[in-house]
Amino acid sequence: MIGVYSSGKSELTLDRSRFIGSLFPIQTLEEVKLVLTELKKTQPSAAHIPFSYIIADQLYGDDDGEPSGTAGLPLLNLLKRAPIDCGLLVVIRYFGGRKLGSKRLRECFIQAGEMAINNSILGEVGERFLIHLVGPIEEMGHIHRFCMETGATIQNITYNNKIDAQLISNSFISGDVIKRLMNRWTLEDVQKERFVRPIKFEE
């Protein structure tokens, strides 16, 4: 799956109407709602905020009051063509006082959307596991052995009366393995999350 590693923006003006495009990294519908809510708060004078998103097999485009077919669907087609499997494409429009007509309006939304995508860095969507372990201070060496045997890496570690360690693993590590390698440690939590790593192109 292809997602957004680094967001890109764009801006163009036609007959005093401004079009500001942005491509956002999203993984869930809830994240889409949060981004759109924030944009409406921060851009209260925008005439319209049409958008489109793809989240795996969920596809949607919204004209947000613009003439039907001029914004939502064209933006969705840009995401498909990129191709982007997880992303939210938004083009904010500030009305300049002159009507552009459906054809020119559609062309502006497409151009702003294309520029936003081209100014972004895409990446491959992967899954990783966040592991939270707590153990005795005298067993610091066990953390390094655990990482060597499982391929996990240390994200954060603090020392007090005990060691509190946050680890990242790109593959699932069973509780039995953790118990075998970290017998005196407590497994506080394991969470799975999606992340995006930049695509490496061959030179």
Pick from 203, 170, 175: nearest CA to 189: 175
Lowest mean pLDDT among 21-35, 55-69, 94-108: 94-108
pLDDT of residue 200: 55
Lowest mean pLDDT among 24-28, 38-42, 82-86, 173-177: 173-177
Give the domains, in start order, of the chain with CATH numbers. 2-119 (3.30.230.30), 126-198 (3.30.70.240)
Which residue shows structure tokens 């559609």?
A: 106
What are 79-120's pLDDT values in tens digits? 999 999 999 999 999 998 788 889 999 999 999 999 999 999
pTM assigned to the model:
0.75
Pick from 150, 91, 93, 87: nearest CA to 122: 87
pLDDT of residue 202: 44
Length of the chain counted residue by residue: 203
Q: What is the mean pLDDT of the chain?
A: 90
Q: What is the dihedral of CA 70, 75, 76, 81, to 10 degrees?
A: 120
**Interaxial angle between packed helices 102-118 and 72-81, expressed in degrees from 0 to 180 and rounded to the nearest 10:** 30
Mean pLDDT to the nearest integer, 21-45: 95
For the cut 80, the answer to whether the pLDDT of residue 201 exceeds it is no
The span from the CA of 90 to the CA of 198, in Å, is 22
What are 137-182's pLDDT values in tens digits? 888 888 888 898 888 999 999 988 899 999 998 888 877 888 787 8
Which residue shows structure tokens 């552009």?
A: 100
